[in-house]
Chain A
Amino acid sequence: MGLLLPACRNGKKGFGKITMEIISALKESGLVGLGGAGFPTWQKWQAVKNSPEVKRFVICNLSEGEPGVFKDEYILQNHLPELIAGISLAKETVGAQRAYVFLNDKYRKYLPKIIKAVKDKKIEVFIDTGRYLCGEETTLLQTMEGKLRQPRQKPPYPTETGLYGYPTLINNAETLYRAYLISQGETEMKRFYSISGDVIDHKRVVKEKVGAKIKEVILPRYLDKINFVRISGPSGFFARHEDFEQIVSGTGAVEIYGKNRRIIEGLIDSMVFLKNESCGKCTPCREGSYRITELLNKLITTASLWDRKEILELISVIAKTAGDSSFCPLGLSIARPVNSATENFKQELIGE
Chain B
Amino acid sequence: MNPFQFSIDELEKKARSIRRKIIRLNAGSPAGGHTGADLSQVEIVTALYFRILNCAPDRTADDNRDIYIQSKGHAAGGYYCCLAEAGYFSPDWLPTYQHNDSHLPGHPVRQKTPGVELNTGALGHGLPVAVGMALAAKRDGSARKVFVLTGDGELAEGSNWEAALVAAHYQLDNLIVINDKNSLQLAGATQDIMKTDPLEDKWKAFGLNVTHCEGNDLSSVVNTLESLKAESSPNVVIANTVKGAGVSFIAGRPEWHHRVPKGDEVERALKELEDV
Q: Do A and B bind each other?
A: no
